[in-house]
Structure 1
Amino acid sequence: MAIAADRAYYRFLVLFFNCLLTFGSYFCFDIPSVLQDQFQGNLTCSNATLTNGTSECVEGLGMTPEQYNLLYAIYAWTNALVVIVAGYLIDKLGNRFGVFLFSFLTVLGSAVFATGSHFKGTPYLLPLMLIGRLLFGSGNGSLTIVQNRITAFWFKGKELALAFGLTLSFSRLGSVLNFFFTHQFESHFGIQWTLWGGTLLCVLGFVSAIIVSALDKVGMKQLGMDGTIQEEAKKVCIHDVRRLPLRYWLLVFTIMFFYNGVFPFVADASKFIQDKYPGYRQQESAYIAGAVYDSSLVLSAAVGILIDYIGLRGIFAILCAVLTLPVFALLAFTFVPPLVSTLWLGITYSFAAASMWPSIPLVVPQATLGTAMGLATSVQMIGIGLSNLIVGQILGTKSSEVKIPLWRWQRMMSFMLANTISCIFTSIALNVVDKRQDGILNKTTKRSSTVEPAAAAPLLSEEEEGAVASIN
């Protein structure tokens, strides 16, 4: 019996295993956020140092705030460097090559990271954990590119935003479960076994990579697309990067500035909540910080359906940035319960992810989608890496102080506000440029169905080609 790859159930089967690719790696990514106290805790509690006026002591790895934030910064920097090459290689060598290589790197990186935790109190701790995050970042960021490329192939012109929303939901399910269960697991089994548990979940992603690769291969052959994709891949040239359209770059910087206000905040949110708001312990703070991902987990699929139905991706990009402004203002200058702000940020994050990332396949050709996704991820990670470094400097670098002063947290939130304001400006520019061209980002579903697909569209419009020529 022939496999009906042209039926809806087949592409949703591909989507299911495609979603599982990053479930474990997203769980691992924010383990340091949940266990920030343990990462920055004392090497030993034998002397019973005071914590918040009590005799409690958190035993941990003894990292400073700067070293802790470096774990996130090196992840982002690695992504920034690797994903450019990774996107190009995926375009040239195909999804199956990428999905095996990068899922393996997430397993290897998480294993090295967990191994590093066994060397606390030695000079080997930080180098091993940084190498682990470097390998993990090399795999996870690139794996997301393959995931998006597979999703775009199977759902372009169909339920694209829904498919992107579901992949985000599965990924964020890993993040949410991390915020709910990691602290409890660590309290029973210790930080080392907790990190090895995260490694085991990355192995789940590797198994899913094998399955989705097989489904993708069989499906392409059934559809008669395997040869066509290979021919397109031969034509891909790294020099095509110079001809990516202006609105692609505006979209990329819009994504970067928005995410600069999300990921660096979540990385330190648990500690921030404990320091600023009285009565919150570590586990409660982790739950509240994780509410950003709780919202996206619940809303992403529904938001994807909504955006598939009404379009207006460019307008949503502006609204997401504008509506995020009050979040950091509330956190910085009021004592409104932090759960209000984290849930609010989760809602705007859900709309941003479902409107911004699925817009990339609409403005670049299918043959260069991996390269375009790689560049977008690279710029995003450069921004996040720099933000993590800046946040580390703002919060202090001398020692792992028990409580960081409120004025330092306010400076951090002001930095988040500055990124969000920058996102507003780039998203407005994006809409202006899009309107002057074919306006595809803001077309409704019925109107956009008649638009020439990006796979067949030229890299540059005639107006942009003239502009480039005049510059050269």
Structure 2
Amino acid sequence: MQWTLWGGALLCVLGFASSVIVSTLDEIGVRQLGLDGAIQEESRKVRIQDVKLLSVRYWLLVLTIMFFYNGIFPFIADASKFIQDKYSYYSQKEAAYIVGAVYDSLVVLSAIVGILIDYVGLRGVFAVACAVLTLPVFGLLAFTFVPPLVSTIWLGVTYSFAAASMWPSIPLVVPQATLGTAMGLATSVQMIGIGISNLVVGQILGTKSSETKIPLWRWQRMMIFMLANTISCIVTSVLLNVVDHRQGGTLNKTTKKSGQEQSDPDREPLTQAEEEPNEQDGDAVRSRSINS
């Protein structure tokens, strides 16, 4: 355990160093492109009140992310114990390896899936597909004795596609100046959902000792709760695609179609309220020019 903690501390230091390097490179790149002044000017227009004016697509995307991760993190937290209780022939070490297959799948697939989605597009479709294909995972774990490694690898595959399609969609539905706020708010909502889910799972399992064997029916109820979150994710992702289609289909544009468009329609205006005054000002200027 001591080496594990030191390893985690080392990763935190590496992460901090990497963030400093990336921030520096980003600052240099923005200056070289001559965008630093424009970004600063646009950022100064942002007010905290603008949070309530973020688009419906953004909030549906945030809820889709939250519900999907509600079924991932609470499950992984208790999966090792679940495997030992349901499949009594697995040791604690073997159960931990099986649970780790979720992240092993991510290591193998994340880069490949990211390249695929960048090439194909269709992020909204992938979000729905990830949620739908995650449903059998919890069904198998709850009501069958299929080897758990099948379910954890399966979950790792859908997790890879979800991470590569959902989070990168946020910059497509919010203005550049509010991107940091939007990402931070999405993370907060996600963590609130995961925290509540962990509390619910704790109540369902109803034990205070990790040594106590939990009855199978309690584990089944936990998996049903995971299924409920996944179904909620399907609902919000479908609604996301419907709204996105009505607003131009930004999330589901293919790379070929996007490349044919010279303008950048993927950015939403900061607020509708700001666009309307600008249009009115333009009309007023034209009227004065005609009258003069």
Question: Is the TM value for this pair above 0.5?
Answer: yes
**Would you say 1:195 and 2:8 are equivalent positions?**
no
Which of residues 150, 156, 161 in structure 2 aligns to 1:351? 161
CA deviation map 1:22-64 (0-9, x unaligned): xxxxxxxxxxxxxxxxxxxxxxxxxxxxxxxxxxxxxxxxxxx
CA deviation map 1:317-348 (0-9, x unaligned): 11111111100000001110000000101111
Give 1:461 shift: 6.4
Structure of greater Rg: 2
Give 1:402 shift: 3.1
Which of residues 375, 387, 391 in structure 1 aligns to 2:201? 391
Give 1:442 shift: 1.2
In 2, distance between residues paired with 1:398 and 1:307?
43
Letter in 2 for 1:299: L
In 2, distance between residues paired with 1:210 and 1:435?
38
Q: Find the residue that maps to 2:43 and give its secondary structure.
A: helix
In 2, distance between residues paired with 1:316 and 1:460?
28
Which of residues 271, 283, 288 in structure 1 aligns to 2:98? 288
CA deviation map 1:185-238 (0-9, x unaligned): xxxxxx344323321221122222332233223222222222322222211211
Corresponding position of 1:418: 228
Letter in 2 for 1:202: C
Say whether the 8 Å CA contact 2:207–2:214 is kept in structure 1. Answer: no
**Would you say 1:458 and 2:259 are equivalent positions?**
no
Corresponding position of 1:212: 22
In 2, distance between residues paired with 1:412 and 1:389?
11
**Any residues of structure 2 matched to 1:84-233 within 5 Å, and which?**
191-233=1-43
Corresponding position of 2:281: none
Comparing 340-349 with 200-209, which one deviates more in the overlay?
Answer: 200-209
CA deviation map 1:246-273 (0-9, x unaligned): 1111111111111100111111111111
In 1, distance between residues paired with 2:127 and 2:4?
37
Corresponding position of 1:409: 219
In 1, distance between residues paired with 2:203 and 2:249?
42
Give 1:286 shift: 1.1
**Would you say 1:309 and 2:114 are equivalent positions?**
no
Corresponding position of 2:283: none
Give 1:313 shift: 1.1
In 1, distance between residues paired with 2:39 and 2:183?
17
Indicate how the Cα distance of structure 1 residues 294 and 212 shifts in structure 2: closer, same or farther if over 3 A, else same: same
Corresponding position of 1:250: 60
C-alpha RMSD of the superposition:
1.8
Which segments of 5 or more consecutive residues in structure 2 lack a partner in the other structure? 277-292
Task: Give the paired residue count.
Answer: 272
Give 1:388 shift: 0.6
Give 1:438 shift: 0.7
Which of residues 66, 76, 80 in structure 2 aligns to 1:270? 80
Corresponding position of 2:46: 236
Corresponding position of 2:182: 372
In 2, distance between residues paired with 1:395 and 1:241?
37
Say whether the 8 Å CA contact 1:366–1:454 is kept in structure 2. Answer: no
Indicate how the Cα distance of structure 1 residues 430 and 461 shifts in structure 2: closer, same or farther if over 3 A, else same: farther
Give 1:292 shift: 1.0
Give 1:452 shift: 3.0
In 1, distance between residues paired with 2:27 and 2:133?
42
In 1, distance between residues paired with 2:10 and 2:35?
35
**Would you say 1:342 and 2:168 are equivalent positions?**
no
- Structure of higher RCO (CA pairs closer than 8 Å, 6+ residues apart): 2
In 2, distance between residues paired with 1:452 and 1:241?
23
Give 1:381 shift: 0.9
In 1, distance between residues paired with 2:237 and 2:209?
39
Q: Find the residue that maps to 2:63 and give its secondary structure.
A: helix
Corresponding position of 1:173: none
**Any residues of structure 2 matched to 1:40-79 within 5 Å, and which?**
none
Corresponding position of 2:286: none
TM-score by length of 1: 0.55
TM-score by length of 2: 0.88
In 1, distance between residues paired with 2:83 and 2:160?
22
In 2, distance between residues paired with 1:325 and 1:303?
20
Identity %: 78
Give 1:427 shift: 0.9
Letter in 2 for 1:238: I
In 2, distance between residues paired with 1:283 and 1:305?
34
Q: Find the residue that maps to 1:428 and give its secondary structure.
A: helix
Which segments of 5 or more consecutive residues in structure 1 lack a partner in the other structure? 1-190, 466-472
Corresponding position of 2:282: none
